[in-house]
Structure 1
Amino acid sequence: MQRCEWMIGKPDFYVSYHDKIWGQPCHQEQELFEWLILEMFSTGLSWQIVLSKKGNFEEAFDHFNPRIVSQYDEEKIEALLNNASIIRHRRKIEAAIQNAKAFLSVQEEFGSFDSYIWSFTDGQTIHRDGETRKTRSKLSDELTKDLKRRNFRWVGSVTIYSYLQAIGIINDHDSRCFCHQSIMKKS
Structure 2
Amino acid sequence: MAPVAPSRCRWAQNDPLLAFYHDAEWGVPEHDPRALWEKLMLDGFQAGLAWITILRKRDAFRLAFSGFDPEQVADFDEARVSSLLTDSGIVRSRAKIEATIGNARAYLAMSASGEDFSQFAWGFVGGAPIIGDGHKALVRSAASEALSVALKKRGFKFVGPVIVYAWMQACGLVDDHEAQCFRRQVA
The two structures share one fold, judged by TM-score above 0.5: yes
Distance 1:20 1:71, change over 3 A: same
- Maintained 8 Å contact 2:43/2:163: yes
What's 1:116 paired with? 120
**TM-fit CA distance, 1:108:** 2.7
- Maintained 8 Å contact 1:66/1:100: yes
* More deviation, 108-117/161-170: 108-117
1:169 paired with 2:173, answer yes
What is the CA RMSD across the aligned residues, in angstroms? 1.3
- Among 63, 66, 72, the residue aligned to 2:70: 66
**TM-fit CA distance, 1:9:** 1.1
Alignment of 1:1-187 (within 5 A): 1-10=6-15, 12-181=16-185, 184=186
Amino acid at match of 1:63: G
Query: How many Å separate the matches in 2 of 1:130 and 1:162?
Result: 15
Amino acid at match of 2:94: R
How many residues are matched? 182
- Maintained 8 Å contact 2:45/2:96: yes
Amino acid at match of 1:100: A
* More deviation, 86-95/106-115: 106-115
Amino acid at match of 2:8: R
Could you say which structure has the higher helix fraction?
1
Query: How many Å separate the matches in 2 of 1:3 and 1:145?
Result: 32
User: Identity over the aligned pairs, expressed in percent?
Assistant: 38
**TM-fit CA distance, 1:107:** 2.1
- Maintained 8 Å contact 1:23/1:171: yes
Query: How many Å separate the matches in 1 of 2:18 and 2:101?
Result: 27
Q: Which runs of 5+ in 2 are unaligned?
A: 1-5
Q: Which runs of 5+ in 1 are unaligned?
A: none
- Maintained 8 Å contact 1:102/1:150: yes
**TM-fit CA distance, 1:130:** 4.3
- Maintained 8 Å contact 1:41/1:92: yes
**TM-fit CA distance, 1:6:** 2.1
Find the residue that maps to 1:159 and give its secondary structure.
helix
Distance 1:20 1:130, change over 3 A: closer
**TM-fit CA distance, 1:175:** 1.7
Q: Deviations over 1:116-166 (max 9, x none)?
A: 111112211000014000000111111111111111011111000001001
TM-score relative to the length of structure 1: 0.93
